[in-house]
């Protein structure tokens, strides 16, 4: 799931200079400007007509209707998305953004609305297609011996090779902290550009969220690719995906949390997740 270090450095500066980001009074009828990347299918992306579509596009409409808010959704490049929020250009971020402790130093979040593990993808006819570990899932927040062994197996398998990842993401942070060393980490501005290099063999593997890979691998664009190794959650991957909101607008974050809880309880979130991801990646109560 997504994106971190560069965002935080610039956001810290934005915190000191922004004057438009003062707290607002939020309630029914309020206008809320929501930012999304528009380049991270199926979470958020543009269709052939240039319209924003995806899981979070459908979700924001549902949440804003529940809260009786007047919401607009705008596209914003990923690396500037937190600074733009801090500067008051937007009021919320819904862009596949993982809830992490470092991000919470500069912004607040609603409760999580989705959770999905990070997984490696390789070419199905390549040398890493049979990469397996003794565990299917690794929880980074509390590593046991088997999980530590799984990380060591992955690191050994990719030694001397190149792993691609989108820049400023939780996935990049994981690679730098646990896998880098003998492994070269190559960063990309967008996931789409990483996919092209993976298909062309310019990187040996790529790391991203299961919710991104699964729909892709079922399309023509994903033919010849394969998920390998365990799924990784917790620790550097954060605590699910939520709506990012300025700290001074905690009331708005609480409103979104309430609506998300309702969408979980009545099954709307589960339905949207299955529709867009092909499996239930929705957060649970």
Angle between helical axes of 268-277 and 250-265 (0-180°, round to 10): 80
Contact 36, 265 (CB under 8 A): no
The total number of residues written for the chain in this structure: 285
pLDDT given at position 21: 40
pLDDT given at position 74: 97
Distance CA 188, CA 178 (A): 19
Among 242, 248, 211, 188, smallest CA distance to 24 is for 248
Distance CA 61, CA 239 (A): 23
pLDDT given at position 284: 87
- Helix/strand number for the chain, H first, E second: 9, 14
Architecture of domain 5-115+239-277: 3-Layer(aba) Sandwich (3.40)
pLDDT given at position 13: 44
Kindly report the CATH number that applies to the domain delimited by 118-237: 3.40.190.10
Q: Where are the beta strands (DSSP E) in the chain?
A: 31-36, 39-40, 44-46, 52-53, 70-75, 92-93, 108-109, 118-123, 137-139, 162-166, 184-188, 205-209, 225-233, 244-245
pLDDT means per 10 residues, the chain with 285 residues, are 48 43 80 97 96 98 98 94 97 97 96 96 98 96 96 98 95 96 94 96 98 96 96 95 98 98 98 96 88
pLDDT given at position 6: 46
Give pTM, 2 decimals: 0.84
The half-sphere exposure of 134 on its side-chain side, counting CA atoms within 13 A, is 9
Contact 239, 99 (CB under 8 A): yes
Compute CA distances 262 → 28, 88, 270, 284, whole Å. 17, 28, 12, 11
pLDDT given at position 16: 44
pLDDT given at position 79: 86
Please list the residue range(s) of the chain that carry CATH number 3.40.190.10.
Answer: 5-115+239-277, 118-237
List Cβ neighbours of 93 (8 Å cut-off, separation of 6 or more): 34, 35, 36, 81, 82, 85, 107, 243, 244, 245
User: Is residue 213 helix, strand or coil?
Assistant: helix
pLDDT given at position 225: 98
pLDDT given at position 208: 97
pLDDT given at position 256: 98
């Amino acid at each position: 799931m997504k994106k971190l270090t560069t965002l935080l450095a610039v956001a810290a500066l934005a915190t000191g200079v922004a004057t438009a980001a003062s707290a607002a009074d939020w309630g029914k009828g309020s206008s809320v400007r929501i930012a999304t990347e528009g380049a991270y299918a199926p979470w958020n992306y543009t269709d052939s007509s240039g319209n924003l579509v995806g899981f979070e596009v459908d979700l924001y409409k549902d949440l804003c209707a529940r809260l009786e808010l007047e919401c607009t959704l705008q596209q914003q490049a990923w690396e500037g998305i937190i600074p733009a929020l801090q500067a008051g250009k937007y009021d919320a971020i819904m862009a596949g953004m993982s809830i992490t402790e470092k991000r919470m130093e500069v912004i607040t979040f609603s409760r999580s609305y989705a959770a999905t593990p990070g997984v490696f993808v390789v070419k199905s006819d390549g040398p890493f297609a049979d990469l397996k570990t003794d565990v299917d899932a690794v929880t980074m927040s509390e590593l046991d011996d088997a999980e530590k062994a799984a990380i060591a197996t992955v690191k050994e398998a990719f030694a001397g090779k190149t792993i691609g990842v989108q820049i400023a993401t939780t996935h990049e942070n994981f690679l730098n902290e646990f896998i880098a060393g003998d492994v070269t980490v190559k960063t990309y501005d967008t996931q789409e550009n990483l996919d092209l290099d993976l298909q062309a063999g310019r990187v040996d593997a790529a790391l991203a969220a299961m919710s991104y890979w699964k729909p892709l691998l079922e399309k023509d664009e994903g033919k010849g690719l394969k998920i390998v190794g365990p799924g990784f959650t917790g620790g550097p991957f954060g605590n699910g995906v939520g709506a990012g909101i300025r700290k001074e607008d905690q009331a708005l974050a609480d409103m979104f949390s309430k609506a998300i809880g309702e969408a979980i309880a009545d099954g709307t979130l589960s339905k949207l997740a299955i529709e867009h991801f092909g499996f239930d990646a929705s957060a649970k109560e």
